[in-house]
Amino acid sequence: MLKASRFQRDRVARTLERTDARGDQRERDRQRAQARKPVVKGRDDELTPEQRRERDAKALQEKAARKAAQAAGQGGNGAKGKVAGKK
Q: What range defines the domain where residue 38 resides?
A: 3-72
> For residue 54, is it within any domain?
yes
**The total number of structural domains that make up the chain:** 1
Q: Is the distance from CB of 45 to CB of 54 less than 8 angstroms?
A: no
pLDDT of residue 60: 97
Q: Is the distance from CB of 56 to CB of 64 less than 8 angstroms?
A: no
CA 74 and chain centroid, separation? 38
> For residue 22, is it within any domain?
yes
Q: What is the pLDDT along the chain (87 residues), one digit of tens a residue?
A: 556 677 777 777 777 666 555 668 888 898 999 888 877 666 667 888 999 999 999 999 999 999 999 999 886 555 555 555 555
